[in-house]
């Protein structure tokens, strides 16, 4: 197995899918010869030609609209939105068109397409390059929302997303692009969508997280262990559809739950986890479900280190629910 960064694993996933299926093509702003702003598509144009990896105009609604048309006509488009913050001009295309196509056509048409986009903080990008908008899209039936936290999952989930018969929003935590490395199998493999990953076994507190918050929660769990608190860390991976049975089993195991994400708190993804547990596993709970999140403000620049949850905030939540 090769040792790759998460960014390199995304690149390998794209190359593998394109080698396996000539209908897979990649396009977006600066993704061609330049290889993208983060170099996620580096080398694709030189290997597959400009017909299969090419630059587009600066028009997100045009990028996604073109992908929908291609997907309806037998191709497997992978459209890149340079930063998730730029996706909102294409919101109607994603929510009203791509996600609704199977339903409105009575199953006659589908949109097998992937929209890749870097999201979240960690690069001091300020309010226009650091947003986490996953909750907007998880509210949309017909759309899958996926975010990896390891190189292994980045490649396997991406290939699975490209092979999926319906549209997938593939959120890449840019803070982890070059900061994490791991073993990645060569060739083609998939990681099933709608499955969680147990990052760390524990029996006192369960922590649910995803994306760039996974290593943060791992560090908090390690420090909690030094105090005698055994913490189970669960990487959700596929936010929609969610592996609800996996979530309930992990919550019931400890009876104490902390949920973590970097997006704003109000109506954030952690609220859905809390509601599922309240509705279906409340009798197992020994403490209130506790959320550790970003704040209900625009994403700051100079105060990014205060806005983003860190291991100290997560550790404090773990200790509070354990002591309840």
SS (H, E, C) 293-314: CCCCCCCCCCCHHHHCCCHHHH
CATH code for residues 197-323: 3.40.50.920
Q: What's the pLDDT score for residue 166? A: 97
- Give the domain ranges of the chain: 2-184, 197-323
Residues whose CB falls within 8 Å of the CB of residue 31, separated by 6 or more in sequence, listed in order: 40, 41, 44, 53, 54, 55, 80
Q: What's the pLDDT score for residue 75? A: 98
Q: What's the pLDDT score for residue 41? A: 98
Q: What's the pLDDT score for residue 17? A: 98
Q: Which tokens go with 271?
A: 């609220």
Q: Which tokens go with 148?
A: 């990896």
Residues whose CB falls within 8 Å of the CB of residue 59, separated by 6 or more in sequence, listed in order: 89
Q: What's the pLDDT score for residue 246? A: 97
* pTM, full prediction: 0.97
Total Cβ atoms within 10 A of residue 321: 24
Per residue of the chain (324 residues), give pLDDT as tens: 899 999 999 999 999 999 999 999 999 999 999 999 999 999 999 999 999 999 999 999 999 999 999 999 999 999 999 999 999 999 999 999 999 999 999 999 999 999 999 999 999 999 999 999 999 999 999 999 999 999 999 999 999 999 999 999 999 999 999 999 999 999 999 999 999 999 999 999 999 999 999 999 999 999 999 999 999 999 999 999 999 999 999 999 999 999 999 999 999 999 999 999 999 999 999 999 999 999 999 999 989 999 999 999 999 999 999 999
Q: Which residue has the tokens 């009876």?
A: 255
Q: What's the pLDDT score for residue 194? A: 94
Domain 2-184 and domain 197-323 have a common topology: yes
The architecture (CATH level 2) of 2-184 comes to 3-Layer(aba) Sandwich (3.40)
Q: Which residues of 29-43 are buried (b: 16+ CB within 10 A; e: fewer)?
A: bebbeebbbbbbbbe
Residue 38: closest CA among 118, 115, 128, 148: 118
311 carries an active-site annotation: no
Q: Which residue has the tokens 């055994």?
A: 230
Taking a C-beta distance cutoff of 8 angstroms, is the pair 94, 67 a contact? no
For the chain, give the number of residues.
324
Taking a C-beta distance cutoff of 8 angstroms, is the pair 288, 194 a contact? no
Fill in the DSSP letter of residue 179: T
């Amino acid at each position: 197995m090769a040792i790759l960064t998460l960014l390199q694993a995304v690149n390998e996933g794209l190359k593998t899918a394109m080698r396996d299926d000539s209908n897979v093509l990649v396009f977006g702003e600066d993704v061609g010869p330049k290889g993208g702003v983060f170099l996620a598509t580096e080398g694709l144009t030189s290997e597959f030609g400009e017909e299969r990896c090419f630059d587009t105009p600066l028009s997100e609604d045009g990028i996604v609209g073109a992908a929908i048309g291609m997907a309806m006509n037998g191709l497997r488009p992978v459209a890149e939105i340079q930063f998730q913050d730029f996706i909102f001009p294409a919101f109607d295309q994603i929510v009203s068109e791509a996600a609704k196509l199977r339903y409105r056509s009575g199953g006659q048409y589908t949109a097998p397409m992937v929209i890749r986009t870097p999201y979240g903080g960690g690069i001091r990008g300020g309010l226009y390059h650091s947003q986490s908008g996953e909750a907007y899209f998880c509210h949309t039936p017909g759309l899958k929302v996926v975010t990896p936290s390891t190189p292994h999952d980045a490649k396997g989930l991406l290939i699975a997303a490209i092979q999926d018969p319906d549209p997938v929003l593939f959120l890449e935590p840019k803070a982890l692009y070059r900061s994490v490395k791991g073993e990645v199998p060569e060739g083609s493999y998939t990681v099933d969508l709608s499955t969680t990953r147990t990052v760390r076994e524990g029996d006192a507190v369960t922590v649910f997280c995803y994306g760039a918050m996974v290593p943060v929660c791992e560090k908090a769990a390690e420090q909690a262990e030094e105090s005698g608190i055994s913490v189970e860390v669960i990487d959700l991976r596929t936010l929609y559809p969610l592996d609800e049975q996996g979530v309930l089993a992990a919550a019931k195991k400890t009876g104490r739950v902390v949920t973590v994400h970097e997006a704003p708190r109000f109506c954030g993804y952690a609220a859905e986890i809390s509601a599922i547990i309240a509705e279906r596993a409340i009798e197992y709970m020994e403490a209130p479900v506790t959320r550790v999140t970003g704040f209900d403000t625009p994403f700051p620049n100079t105060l990014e280190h205060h806005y983003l949850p860190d291991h100290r905030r997560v550790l404090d939540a773990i200790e509070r629910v354990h002591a309840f």
